[in-house]
Structure 1
Amino acid sequence: MDGVAHGFLGRRGGVSTGLYAGLNVGLGSDDDRAHLAENRRLATEAVLPGAQLVTVHQIHSADAVSVREPWEEGLRPHADAIVTDRPGLLLGILTADCAPVLLADREAGVVAAAHAGWKGAIGGVTDATILAMEALGADRSRIHAAIGPCIARASYEVDDGFARRFTADDPANERFFSPARAGHHRFDLEAYVTHRLATAGIGRVEALGLDTYPDESRFFSYRRATHRGEPGYGRQIALIGLPG
């Protein structure tokens, strides 16, 4: 993604304390609002100084929206991917185990950020993102995509019902699961999202291979917080934008 400002930010840095210590940017968390605002400012300045940060109200859908002018925080649309061709806007997707996907067609000047949890991934959020990019002039054969830190197969145990959803959609999806304890499997979300992007005809797909669950110093993790019975969890942000 040379020539396009982007970054997968983790937990390190930031001003939040306690349960949310670090660079928590999750508006849905109970973190101090002033801390959240400062963390979002720090994240923006780290990737595209002077840009206007644009995020959505994520709902684990397959919906993608295009943005030409930034909206007010309280008017964020419900969606899980954002696309733009406007310089000076910095697209942000929040995650805490789900896969953040950044996409760019530098020649067309079109970028996107997508939130691919398992529901959005199987529902086709990356396909919707690609179509929205094409509507702004992108060519999928020129699009470069990168998948950031997310929960890895070794940390992602799911039950039989979960696995059946994927094999019912496509029997070949069995390859993204490996055996775990009785009635359970381990799911490779990153590999599945990579497969969806490659199958869609994306020109280049890179995956960072970083697991959010075990590395508490670097990443927030919903599943880790849940297993510990913690009352909340932070979110990290993935950012992409065109210089103004």
Structure 2
Amino acid sequence: MMLASSLLSAIPGLRHAFFTRDGGVSDGVYAGLNGGLGSNDDPARVAENRRRMAEQLGVAPSHLVGVHQIHSPDAVVASGPWNGTARPKADAIVTRSEGLAIGVTTADCGPILFVDPTARVIGAAHAGWKGALTGILETTIETMEKLGAERSGMIAAIGPLIRQPSYEVGPEFVERFIGADAGNAMFFLPGERDGHAMFDLAGFIRMRLEKAGVLMIDDLGIDTYSDERCFSYRRSVHRKEPDYGRHVHAIVLEA
């Protein structure tokens, strides 16, 4: 049902999970543990899946909170469940509130869970290529620091995401990254099609974290595209499926 980081698992008073598609009630293209509030799955099934995830994390369903993700560099602070039904638009959540599980949803993009064990501050970030390039990781770290964390003491775990052997991109994509920093050329290998390249999103995320001063990094190394335990947006497109499921990845400070 879930995958775990060995670094995060070693920290007392902390729970986390990188959920797979195992253990849910959805069917069809969503078969399994679809947590995507934005998917076209039956809302009752999504709610039951999320209830199971909350239970695994040791919180009430109301205390598993996420954001309306928009591939931005924006992070928000949560102190409890959101007021009303609207989730804030952002791509990372940070908290120091115990018993509040903060999570992001992904289906190829990179989920990154953060903790400063000393300051007892946690974060969850959704980093696709756009968010990673425009600064979502750095914003998450800065927002955690505003709550008392120190980047030198932070631990970050990179969950399942689309890996370089599965991630072919076009020339305009490569130009955008190299235009931002010529050193980004190291994250591309030649693709099978002329002018295309294979992008190392996980490597790029790790580099951005290290440059920001986070040096304790665990990468689970799982490819959402090739691993059938995972939902994958790109795989669903290649299979001409009408929609796709979303994973939830969350972290909580035990009360």
TM-score category (smaller protein): over 0.9
Unaligned runs of 5+ in 1: none
Counterpart in 2 of 1:48?
Answer: 58
Q: Which amino acid aligns with 1:140?
A: R
Match of 1:198 among 199, 210, 223: 210
From 14, 17, 24, the counterpart of 1:14: 24
* Counterpart for residue 42 of structure 2: 32
Deviations 1:162-189 (A, max 9, x none): 0111111110100000001211000000
Paired with 1:212 and 1:136, the residues of 2 have a C-alpha distance of 32
Q: Give the Cα–Cα distance (whole angstroms) in 2 for the partners of residues 79 and 6 of structure 1.
A: 21
Identity rate of aligned residues, in percent? 53
Per-residue deviation, 1:72:
4.5
How do 1:60-209 and structure 2 match up within 5 A?
A: 60-72=71-83, 74-180=85-191, 181-209=193-221
The CA deviation at 1:69 is 2.0
Question: 1:87, CA displacement in angstroms?
Answer: 0.2
Q: In the alignment, residue 235 of structure 1 is paired with which amino acid?
A: R
Count of residues paired in the alignment: 243
Runs of 4+ in 1 over 4 A off after TM superposition: none
Q: Which amino acid aligns with 1:118?
A: W
> Deviation at 1:206?
1.1
Alpha-carbon distance in 1 for matches of 2:252, 2:154: 14
In the aligned structure 1, how far is the partner of 2:73 from the partner of 2:97?
22
Aligned mates of 1:178, 1:117 — CA distance in 2: 18
Residue ranges of structure 2 left out of the alignment (5+ in a row): 1-7
Do the aligned partners of 2:71 and 2:128 also contact (CA within 8 Å) in 1? yes
How far does the alpha carbon of each residue in 1:77-130 deviate from its partner, in whole angstroms, 9 at most, with x for none? 000000000001000100000000000001101000000000000000000000
Distance 1:172 1:228 in 2: 34
TM-score, with normalisation over the residues of structure 1?
0.97
Please give the secondary structure, in 2, of the residue aligned with 1:75: coil
1:62 counterpart SS class? coil
Query: Residue deviations 1:167-226, cap 9 Å, x none?
Result: 11110100000001211000000000011001100130111110000122x000000001
